[in-house]
Structures are given as C-alpha cells and as structure tokens.
Amino acid sequence: DWTSDMFIDITVAELKEKIGSDKVVMGLSGGVDSSVAATLIHRAIGDNLTCVFVDNGLLRKNEYEEVLESYKTLGLNVIGVDAKERFYVALAGISEPEAKRKAIGRVFIEVFDDEAHKIDGVKWLGQGTIYPDVIESVSVKGPSATIKSHHNVGGLPDFMKLSVIEPLNTLFKDEVREVGRALEIPEAIIGRHPFPGPGLAIRILGDITAEKAKTLQEVDYIFIQGLKTHGLYDQVWQAGAILLPIQSVGVMGDERTYEKVVALRAVGSVDGMTADWIHLPYEFLGKMSNEIINRVKGVNRVVYDISSKPPATIEWE
Ligand code: XMP
C-alpha cells in the first residue's frame, strides 16, 4: 500500500545517497510539482540546493512576488530573476504554438544557465517532472501523434552538463499533492491549479506583446479570484482565460466599440490526459463577464469554452 510518508522516507534516503555532498540547481515554476520536488530535495541536502525562479512576463498577475515570498517562507534558497523583457523580445512576431514553446524553452535555458554558472561546482539539475509529463513527451517523439512538446522535459543542451534528478517522475498529480501536504507545504501552493510552463504565451493566440500579456493577466485575475470567492476554485482542476486574436463589435453608451474577445475555460480532470468542461453556474459566468468587460480596457466580449478533451485539448495552443 502506497503512502506519502513512505514515499518521502524512501525518496529522501535515495536522494541523499545519490547526491551526497554535491550541489543541485533547480528551476521553480510556482506550481505544485516543482515546489514539492524542491522541498523533497531540500529535505535531503539542505542548502546544497539552489532554486531559481524566473519571471518570464507570462505568469499570472502578482504571481512572481507572491510565489517568491512563499518559497522564502519554506526555507528554500531561492534566486528570483526578472527576465520579462528578454522573453518578450524573443517572442516578438511569433504566432505558431510550437515555435512559442521553443522560444520560451530556449530563453529559459539561457537565463537559467546564466544563474547555474554562478553556483560553484553544481553537478545536478532538479526537475519537477511528473509521470503524465513523461508519457506526453514520449508520444511527441512517436511517429504519428505529435501532441505538444512540454518544454520542461528533456532537450537540455550539452553545455549544461548536469545530470537530471526527477524525484516525482513516477507520480500522478494527486499523489504529488498528497506528498506536498505531508511535507507541510502551504495549501496555497498545494491546492493551486496546474499552470503550463509557457504560461500565458499559449493563451494569447497569435503573437505576444507585453500589452496583451497585461490584458490577459487582468482578465485571468478576475476569473480566478471570482472562482475563489464563489467557492468554485477547488471544484475545478484547471481554469484560465484565453485572449483571442479577433475583434468584435460592441456598444458602450452611444459608442460603437471594436475590441478583443476573451474565452474562459474551466475543466475537471484527474491528470490532464482527458478533461471535461465544467458546468459553471450561469449566474457566476454572467458576473465574470460583466466584471471583465467593465474593468479590463480593450475587451468587449466574453465567451465560455464548452469543449472536452478529447477531441479538444485543455489549452488552445
Ligand atoms: P493540453 O492542452 O495538452 O494540456 O490538453 C494538458 C495539461 O498540460 C499543460 N500543458 C503544458 N504544460 N508545458 C507545460 O509545462 C507545456 O508546453 C504545456 N502545454 C500544455 C496544460 O496546462 C494542461 O494542464
């Protein structure tokens, strides 16, 4: 019978044995997986683990500051890097989803590598890879179905010359959460919805600009806060907003408007491999629509995504 305490004991012992007195560097994303992986490694080797948290300009509103603060509270040795401009420059003019992922993956590795080089004698790279990531990445390499290349798996350039440690690569998401709770990681991190590595980049359809990122952050913030204050957040596996690359006609007072459309998405799932759209109450959706259109400049229409996976995917890109 699997228990999280057993998993923790065995994993911490294995990590100690494997890593010894070597140094480990690890990128944190703010998500459950990397936070739990880092806490496990920290338990095994303490401050020989250095964590790097990069602001790629495509995180949720306020996420960078809040998450950095909770990592410090957890006692992790964490370096925050503001690389927003570097990412926006690299993404300028790119609309194709896989090209966005590649650009983000490349810049992330550059930024991360700069930080890793500052740590003397680092030998290992910690990663929060979980079992479903392993499966989807394998299928990307398969002959027929290219799904989506998850940038946080594999593909490391040789120059980094670090061996990879992935303490969670046999676990599903719900098991990762159990382990996280047993490690006493705050519920604000453990109960957090999954968020993709490329962040809002794959929710801004078409090309990415700092202005679009700001608009989507505001929309997403209203929706996520709304889910929380209406007691719906924990009934949803993942939620977010998508900025569509079209404009539609609206009317504000006596004025005709011609502005952006956003889609809201909320799904139920166990591991992200399949997902059902959630039947959010109409009243709640109505409230969100009003709030978003009234408060976010440049948006005059809100739609709700009623597609399940398959045949749709959770993200639009
Ligand atoms: P899809 O859109 O493939 O998403 O149904 C399944 C889950 O994976 C997340 N996702 C990603 N996560 N890098 C990530 O780290 C990516 O490129 C990526 N693409 C999708 C998505 O948010 C959902 O939880």
Whether the predicted pLDDT of 247 surpasses 80: yes
299 forms bridges with which residues in the sheet? 260
Domain count, the chain: 2
pLDDT tens for 212-240 read 999 999 999 999 999 999 999 999 999 99
Alpha helices in 59-161 (DSSP H): 63-73, 84-91, 97-117, 131-141
Residues in the chain: 317
Single out the residue in 157, 190, 223 at which a domain terminates.
190
Any atom of ligand 1 within 6 Å of the Cβ of 146: no
Atom of ligand 1 nearest to the CA of 194: 24
Q: In the structure encoding, which two tokens stand for residue 40, read together?
A: 């496990």
pLDDT tens for 172-199 read 988 999 999 999 999 889 999 989 999 9
How far apart are the C-alpha atoms of 198 and 214, rounded to whole Å?
15
Nearest CA to 170 among 113, 130, 210? 130
201 close to 100: Cβ distance less than 8 angstroms = yes
Residues in the annotated binding site for ATP: 29-35
Averaged confidence pLDDT in the chain: 92
Single out the residue in 129, 158, 190 at which a domain terminates.
190
> Do 173 and 29 fall into the same domain?
yes
> Do 155 and 215 fall into the same domain?
no
* CA-proximal residue: ligand 1, atom 6 (nearest): 272
* Cα 315 to ligand 1 centroid, rounded to whole Å: 6
Q: What is the ipTM of this complex?
A: 0.99
Any atom of ligand 1 within 6 Å of the Cβ of 100: no
* Cα 19 to ligand 1 centroid, rounded to whole Å: 30
C-alpha distances out from residue 141 to 103, 131, 197, Å: 19, 16, 19
Give phi and psi for 74, each to the nearest 5.
Answer: -70, -5
> Do 164 and 241 fall into the same domain?
no
Examine residue 224 and state whether it is found in any structural domain, yes or no: yes
> Do 66 and 169 fall into the same domain?
yes
How far apart are the C-alpha atoms of 163 and 157, rounded to whole Å?
12
Q: What is the pLDDT of residue 277?
A: 98
Q: What is the pLDDT of residue 141?
A: 38
Q: In the structure encoding, which two tokens stand for residue 187, read together?
A: 């519920």
> Do 186 and 249 fall into the same domain?
no
Cα 194–Cα 112–Cα 78 angle in degrees, nearest 5: 70
Any atom of ligand 1 within 6 Å of the Cβ of 315: yes
Nearest CA to 19 among 53, 61, 47? 47
> Do 59 and 182 fall into the same domain?
yes
Any atom of ligand 1 within 6 Å of the Cβ of 196: yes
Lowest mean pLDDT among 130-139, 230-239, 298-307: 130-139
Lowest mean pLDDT among 3-17, 37-51, 128-142, 158-172: 128-142
Q: Is 128 helix (H, G, I), strand (E, B) or coil?
A: coil
Q: What is the pLDDT of residue 154?
A: 52
Q: What is the pLDDT of residue 138?
A: 63
Strand order across the beta sheet in which 78-82 lies: 78-82, 49-55, 23-28, 122-126, 163-165
> Do 221 and 177 fall into the same domain?
no
- Exposed (0-12), middle (13-18) or buried (19+): which is 258, by Cβ within 10 Å? exposed
* Cα 120 to ligand 1 centroid, rounded to whole Å: 34
Any atom of ligand 1 within 6 Å of the Cβ of 269: no
> Do 94 and 15 fall into the same domain?
yes
* Mutation probe of ligand 1 site: the residue of 58, 137, 146, 148 with most atoms within 8 A of C-beta: 148
* Cα 105 to ligand 1 centroid, rounded to whole Å: 14
How far apart are the C-alpha atoms of 165 and 182, rounded to whole Å?
21
* CA-proximal residue: ligand 1, atom 12 (nearest): 196
Scored b (16 or more CB within 10 A) or e, 129-151 reads bbbbbeebbeebeeeeeeebbbb
Any atom of ligand 1 within 6 Å of the Cβ of 101: yes
Domain interval for residue 141: 4-190
Q: What is the pLDDT of residue 139?
A: 52
Whether the predicted pLDDT of 85 surpasses 80: yes
Any atom of ligand 1 within 6 Å of the Cβ of 199: no
Examine residue 100 and state whether it is found in any structural domain, yes or no: yes
The CATH number of residue 255's host domain is 3.30.300.10
Any atom of ligand 1 within 6 Å of the Cβ of 139: no
Whether the predicted pLDDT of 242 surpasses 70: yes
Lowest mean pLDDT among 111-115, 158-162, 182-186: 158-162
> Do 128 and 16 fall into the same domain?
yes
Q: What is the pLDDT of residue 266?
A: 98
Q: What is the pLDDT of residue 132?
A: 83
> What's the whole-number mean pLDDT along residues 253-267?
97
